[in-house]
């Protein structure tokens, strides 16, 4: 069973449809008590970091999630704000992330005169930094994997080894991060058609 955490910040229907297409069994998890029943866990997210961090605390998700991450026996994927929650903090507000992957979210600032806008919105190519659980073949095998982005803040990781892929919007922007079985993508796989479907296929294939 693939547990999709209902934090009030994600598009459950679109993500569940993708999982079903891949032969998985999606389940909306409305309580952290349901975490142990899932083989794979997805933290979807739209909106602001602060709101998401507040919801995690108010609904009692923080400690159960940290316990699960420390056990290291279930793959977890954060998408968009769900990825940002994996790091320590964000310049978007004063909320506290899960801090599993050291780093912070900072506002995207395209170079002056570039004509690029914030938020970074639309399709963009993603380049893996090396082989990983989400991009097992590494950068040399990726010809044109494009994903759909909508975000104004980017993740800066303390350890460059935690960056699994980048994209470009007036300079390199972290597109995917990971440490062990815990990983995140800044884009929306559920809105990325066949590319998102293939990435979710790779995620569901991870066995602990």
List, by residue number, the catalytic residues: 80, 188, 190
Residues 175 and 183: their CA atoms lie apart, in Å, by: 11
Residue pair 22/204 in contact by the 8 Å Cβ criterion:
yes
**DSSP run (H or E) holding 83:** helix 81-84
Reading the block at residue 27, the tokens are: 């389940």
CA-atom Rg of the chain in angstroms: 16
d(CA 94, CA 98): 13
Strand-pair category, 76-79 with 2-5 = unpaired
What is the C-alpha separation between 170 and 199, in angstroms, rounded?
25
Distance, C-alpha 3 to centroid of its chain: 15
CA dihedral 60, 62, 67, 73 (to 10 degrees): 100
């Amino acid at each position: 069973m693939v547990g999709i955490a209902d934090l009030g910040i994600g598009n459950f229907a679109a993500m569940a449809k993708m999982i079903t297409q891949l032969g998985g069994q999606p389940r909306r998890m409305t309580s952290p008590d349901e975490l142990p029943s899932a083989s794979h866990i997805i933290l979807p997210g739209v909106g602001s970091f602060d709101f998401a961090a507040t919801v995690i605390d108010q609904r009692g998700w923080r400690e159960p999630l940290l316990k699960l991450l420390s056990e290291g026996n279930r793959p977890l994927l954060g998408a968009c704000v769900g990825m940002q929650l994996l790091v320590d903090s964000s310049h978007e507000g004063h909320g506290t992330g899960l801090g599993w992957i050291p780093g912070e979210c900072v506002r995207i600032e395209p170079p002056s005169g570039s004509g690029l806008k914030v938020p970074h919105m639309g399709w963009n190519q993603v380049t893996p930094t090396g082989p990983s659980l989400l991009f097992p073949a590494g950068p040399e095998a990726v010809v044109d994997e494009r994903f759909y982005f909508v975000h104004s803040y980017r993740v800066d990781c303390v350890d460059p080894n935690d960056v699994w892929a980048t994209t470009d919007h007036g300079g390199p922007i972290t597109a995917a991060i990971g440490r062990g079985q815990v990983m995140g993508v800044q884009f929306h796989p559920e809105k990325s058609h066949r590319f998102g479907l293939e990435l979710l296929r790779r995620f569901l294939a991870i066995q602990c």
